[in-house]
Amino acid sequence: MIGRHFLLAAVATIALSAPLLAKAKPVYGDWGYNPTAMDRTTKPGDDFWAFVSGTWDRMTPIAPDRASAGPFVTLSDQSEKDVRAIVDSMATAPQRTALGQQIGDYYGSYMDTATLDRLGTIPLKPYLAKIAAVKSHAQLVELFLKPGFASPVDLGINPDFKEPTKYSAVASQATLGLPGREYYLGTDAKMIGFRAAYRAYIQSVQRLAGLPGGAASADRIVALETSLSQSQWAPEGRRNIDKIYNPMGLLKLAILAPQFNWPSTLSGHGLGQAQAVIVMEPSAVSGAGKLLASVPLATWKEWMAFRFVSDNASFLAKPLDDAHFAFYSKELNGVEVQRERWKRGVGAVNGAMGEAVGEIYVRDHYPAESERQMTELIGNLREAYQERISQNNWMDDTTRKEALAKLAAFEPRIGHPVKYVDYSSLRIVKGDALGNSLRAQDFQWKLQLARFPKPVDRTLWEMTPQTINAYYDPFNNQITFPAAILQPPFFDPAADAAANYGAIGAVIGHEMGHGFDDEGRKFDAKGSLRDWWSAAAVKAYSARTDRLVRQYNMFSPYPGVAINGKLTLGENLGDLSGVEAAYAAYQRYQAKHGAALAIDGLTGDQRFFIAYAQAWQEKDREDAERQQILTDPHSPGKYRVNGIVRNVDAWYKAFNVQPGDKLYLAPDQRVHIW
C-alpha cells in the first residue's frame, strides 16, 4: 500500500549453505513444509491453495480472540510472548533504568484494571471538559489538532512526493467511526445492520461515560459521519498517486476550505513555517470544511466527546473497554472473545515505545546468520530483476535504462534500525493509563515536528523490529524487513533452498516489485514523483495490468462480494513480480550450488510453489474477510495464491496443469510484467 507498502505479508530471506542444512532440521517437515497440511484429493490446477493447505484449512480453528488464522497470526502470537518477557524483565529489574521505569509503568498502568475500574470516568473529565468549553468553530478547529481528539481532516507530515529529501505538511480525509465509506453508504442488509449496531454502540458509550446523549444524539453523530463519508474518496481512488498529490499554498487552501483558517491551524499544530500543504483528497477536505460551517457546533462537540471516549476505550474502565470490543471486534469482525489483557498491553507498549523494546528484541532474537543469508538472497533477487527488466520485450531502451537505475538504487534494510528512538523526554506516570497514551501520542508528534525543518532522515523505520511484516518506501526507494518476519515458515536457515526462495524470497521480491507496481513505478531512482516512462511503455504496461485487474474482479468469495481488482492491483502486482523474480533467483541459486534433488517425491520447482502457497495459509471470519475486501488493498490469502500461480509458466510445468483445469489460462492470457 502506498505511501508505504505495509504488506499483509512481505518478507525476505535466503537459501542456505550445505553445512547449515546438515546441522539442523527444518521447523516444518523434512524440507520446510508439513505435508499433512495438503489436500491431495484436490487437483493443483483446480485450486492450488486448497491442494497445499486444504487439510490445514479444515483442521485449523480460528482462535476465539482472533479474526483469522495462519502464519502471520502464529508468529504474531510468539512475538507477543517475546515482548512480554522483555517488558516484564524491564519492569521488575531490581535496579531498573529510566527506560525500564517508563516501559514498566506504561505496561503496569495499562494492566492495572482494578485502578481503571475504581477510577471509572474520572480520567475522562479533563478531556471532556476541554470539549465542553468550546464556544466557537475556531476553538473547535484548535481542539481537532490535539492528540487523542477526532478531526474531520487529518494533518500530518510526509516526505514531499516530488522533493523526497524534504518534509511537507499533508492534509487527508479523516478516519471515521466505521471502517470505510462503504459502511455508511452501502445499501445491502449487512451494511444496514452494521449502521444500526453502530448507532446502538454510540448510545452505550454515551451512557457508560456519563455523556448527554440518547437516540437523537446517536442519529446526529451517524448523520455527521455519513455526510463526511459522502465527500471522501473510495479506497481505489486513494491509490492514484497523480491525483492525491495536490500541493496548495495558503491562498489555494483558503479557496478550497476557508473554514479551517489555515494560517492559524498550521501555526497551532506546529507547522507555521509550512509554505504549502499537500492535500490528498481535495473534495474530502472541502466537504469537511462545508460541514464545519453548516453543522451546529453542539453536534460537532457531541461527536468529539463520543469519539474521544470510544477511541481511548482500551485505557478506561472495563465496561467501556468491553463495549468497544463488542462492536469493533465481535460485531464487525466476528471475533468471539476479547484478547487477554496482557496481549493488548504488549500492543500498547509497542505502539508507544516500540523501538525501545525492539532494541532488546533484536539482541535476544535476531541471529547474525539470518542477516548474512538475507543479504545473499536479496543479491540474487536483485540480479534476477536486473535480468528480467533487461530482457523484457515490451519496454523501450530509454525507459529500461531508468528502470535499471531505480533497481540499482534500491536500499534493502534488514532486521533493525541503525539507530533507535530516544524516549527519555516521554513522561510516564504510574496509574495514569489514559494520560500515558495521550502523552505518547504527543511525543510522537513532537518528534515529527523536530524533524520537519531538516532533510528527510533515511535511517528512520516505519515498523519495529518485532513486527511480523515488511514494507517498501517509494520516497526513499527502500525495502525494509523487520527481524521478527525472518522466521519459519517464511525463512528457516535449516530449510531447503526451494522453501526459502518460495516463501521469503517471494516476499522480498514482492517488496522490490512495489517499486514497479502501478503506484511505485511513478517514482524514480531518487524517490521523486516523476514521469520517466515513455508513452509506449505506459501503454504496454497498462495493457498487462488491466488484464490482471479483470482476472481479480472475477474472484467472488461470497455472493455479491467480489475482489476489487483496481483496489488490490498494487499488491497483486507485487505478488506476481515477487514470485516470478524469486523463481528466477532460485534458478540462479541452483546454477551456483547444483540442481535440486527430489525430496518427499517433490521436485525443487514443486517445493518452491508449495512454499509460496504455505506462506499464504490464511482463513478469516466472514465479516472480517468482507471488511478486508471492501477496504484493504491486499487480496485474501487464497487469491494471493490462486490468482498469481495461474500467470506463472513454471507453475504449469511443475504440476502438469492442463486446459480444462479451473485455474488454467491460455499462454496469451497470462500476465507477465518482468
Domain ranges of the chain: 5-82+345-417+461-669, 136-337
Q: How confident is the model at residue 42 (pLDDT cuts 50, 70, 90)?
A: very high
Residue 16's pLDDT is what?
A: 27
Alpha-carbon dihedral of residues 79, 84, 90, 91, nearest 10 degrees?
160
Residue 396 has pLDDT above 90, yes or no: yes
Beta-sheet pairing, 478-482 with 471-473: antiparallel
- Residues 86 and 364: beta-carbon distance below 8 Å: yes
Residue 454's pLDDT is what?
A: 96
Query: What would the 3-class secondary structure string for 543-605 be?
Result: HHHHHHHHHHHCCCCECCECCCCCCCHHHHHHHHHHHHHHHHHHHHHHHHHCCCCCECCECHH
Q: How confident is the model at residue 22 (pLDDT cuts 50, 70, 90)?
A: very low
Q: CA-based angle 146:148:150, to the nearest 5?
A: 80
Q: How confident is the model at residue 92 (pLDDT cuts 50, 70, 90)?
A: confident
- Residues 429 and 46: beta-carbon distance below 8 Å: no
Residue 591 has pLDDT above 60, yes or no: yes
- Residues 490 and 377: beta-carbon distance below 8 Å: no
- Comparison of pLDDT for 328 and 97, the residue scoring more: 328
Residue 375's pLDDT is what?
A: 84
Element (H, E) at 277: strand 277-279
Average pLDDT, stretch 88-108?
87
Q: CA-based angle 464:513:638, to the nearest 5?
A: 80
User: What is the number of alpha carbons within 13 Å of residue 276 lying toward its C-beta?
Assistant: 16
Cα–Cα dist 320/249, whole Å? 42
Average pLDDT, stretch 113-124?
98
Average pLDDT, stretch 389-418?
95
For residue 462, give the DSSP letter.
S
CA torsion through residues 205, 132, 270, 428, sign: negative
Q: What is the pTM of this model?
A: 0.92
User: What is the number of alpha carbons within 13 Å of residue 471 lying toward its C-beta?
Assistant: 18
Cα–Cα dist 198/335, whole Å? 16
Provide the grid cell at 577.
513480480
Average pLDDT, stretch 37-58?
97
Return the CATH superfamily for domain 5-82+345-417+461-669.
Collagenase (Catalytic Domain) (3.40.390.10)
Q: How confident is the model at residue 350 (pLDDT cuts 50, 70, 90)?
A: very high
User: What is the number of alpha carbons within 13 Å of residue 527 lying toward its C-beta?
Assistant: 25
- Residues 289 and 258: beta-carbon distance below 8 Å: yes
Residue 20 has pLDDT above 80, yes or no: no
Residue 10 has pLDDT above 60, yes or no: no
Share of the chain above pLDDT 70, in %: 96
Mean pLDDT of the chain: 93
For 161-207, the DSSP string reads SS-TTBEEEEEEEPP-SSSSHHHHH--SHHHHHHHHHHHHHHHHHHH
Average pLDDT, stretch 478-494?
93
Provide the grid cell at 647.
500467470
- Residues 83 and 350: beta-carbon distance below 8 Å: yes
Q: Which amino acid is at 251?
A: L
Residue 177 has pLDDT above 50, yes or no: yes
Write the burial class of residue 561 (CB in 10 Å: 0-12 exposed, 13-18 middle, 19+ buried).
middle
- Residue 333's SS3 state is helix
pLDDT digits (tens, 9 = 90+) for 210-234: 999 899 999 999 999 999 999 999 9
Average pLDDT, stretch 339-360?
97
Cα–Cα dist 479/513, whole Å? 10
Q: How confident is the model at residue 49 (pLDDT cuts 50, 70, 90)?
A: very high
Average pLDDT, stretch 557-569?
96
Provide the grid cell at 584.
528466477
Residue 602's pLDDT is what?
A: 96
Provide the grid cell at 128.
471532556
- CATH 3.10.250.10 describes domain 136-337: no
pLDDT digits (tens, 9 = 90+) for 517-541: 999 999 999 999 999 999 999 999 9
Cα–Cα dist 12/377, whole Å? 8
What are residue 58's phi and psi, to 5 degrees?
Answer: -70, -35
Residue 373's pLDDT is what?
A: 78
Residue 21's pLDDT is what?
A: 33
- Residue 491's SS3 state is coil
- Give the closest residue to 666 by CA, choosing from 651, 650, 649: 649
Q: Is the peptide bond before 489 cis (omega within 30 degrees of 0)?
A: yes
- Comparison of pLDDT for 90 and 661, the residue scoring more: 661
Residue 492 has pLDDT above 50, yes or no: yes
pLDDT digits (tens, 9 = 90+) for 497-507: 999 999 999 99
- Residue 455's SS3 state is strand
- Residue 88's SS3 state is helix
Cα–Cα dist 12/479, whole Å? 10
Residue 584's pLDDT is what?
A: 97
Q: Where are the beta strands (DSSP E) in 54-149?
A: 68-69
Residue 374's pLDDT is what?
A: 82
